[in-house]
Amino acid sequence: MKCRMCGFEFDETTLENRGCSSCGKHGCNSIHCPNCGFANSPELDDEFEFIIKLKDKLKNRKKATN
């Protein structure tokens, strides 16, 4: 996983307790970055990936019409 805040890449499967050692909301669905502590949501990753693909598609479409 790549942290959306700092860009640090880490393996979320190796984190003990999903990296929630300093999280005040235990039991959340977030995975905390071991580098900066940012709470990355795996559910949002799919949405961000879709948005990035959509933006790329629109850029390519705009280039094709120019």
For the chain, the structural domain boundaries read 12-65
Q: Are 38 and 48 in contact (CB under 8 A)?
A: no
pLDDT score for 23: 61
| Cβ burial 20-57 (10 Å sphere, 16+ → b, else e) | beeeeeeeeebbbbbeeeebbeeeeeeeeeeeeeeeee
Q: Mind spelling out the 3-state secondary structure of 6-43?
A: CCCECCHHHCHHHHCCCCCCCCCCCEECCCCCCEECHH
pLDDT at 11: 92
pLDDT in tens, 7-26: 999 998 888 776 665 566 66
For residue 1, pLDDT beyond 60 = yes
Which pLDDT score, from 0 to 100, does residue 50 have?
Answer: 83
Residue 5 banded pLDDT, cuts 50, 70, 90: very high
Which residue did the predictor score with more confidence, 29 or 33?
A: 33
